[in-house]
Amino acid sequence: MSLTNSPSVETHKAYASRTLDSARELGPKIRAAADEIEQGRRLPMHLVREMQRTGMFRMAMPRSWGGPELDFLTQMRRCRSRPGK
């Protein structure tokens, strides 16, 4: 992708923000499934599908590949925060 065709920095910031907000909104669903996750020692498929839909698995993908390129610390802080904070 050339620089002339790449999305603007503001577009990437908006994409990153939406991805983080979506991830944060999944927190209650993940916490509600904690026993199921612990017993099965894996994520239930309904959560995997939600995480795919929200882009959680692409959070660290480089901008040059079309991802938000979020650093690990930002991901963890946002995912652990409560919705609306």
Within-domain flag for 27: yes
Range of the domain at 33: 9-80
pLDDT score recorded for residue 34: 94
- Token pair 């079309």 is at which residue? 66
- pLDDT 10s digits, 23-79: 888 888 988 999 999 999 999 999 999 989 988 888 888 888 888 888 888 877 766
Domain count, the chain: 1
Rounded-to-integer distance, Cα 37 and Cα 48, Å: 11
Helix (H, G, I), strand (E, B) or coil at 33: coil
Within-domain flag for 28: yes
Confidence at 10, pLDDT banded by 50, 70, 90:
low
Identify the burial level of 74 via C-beta atoms within 10 angstroms of its C-beta, where 0-12 means exposed, 13-18 middle and 19 or more buried. Answer: middle
Within-domain flag for 56: yes
Residue 78 and residue 19 in contact, taking contact as beta carbons nearer than 8 Å: no
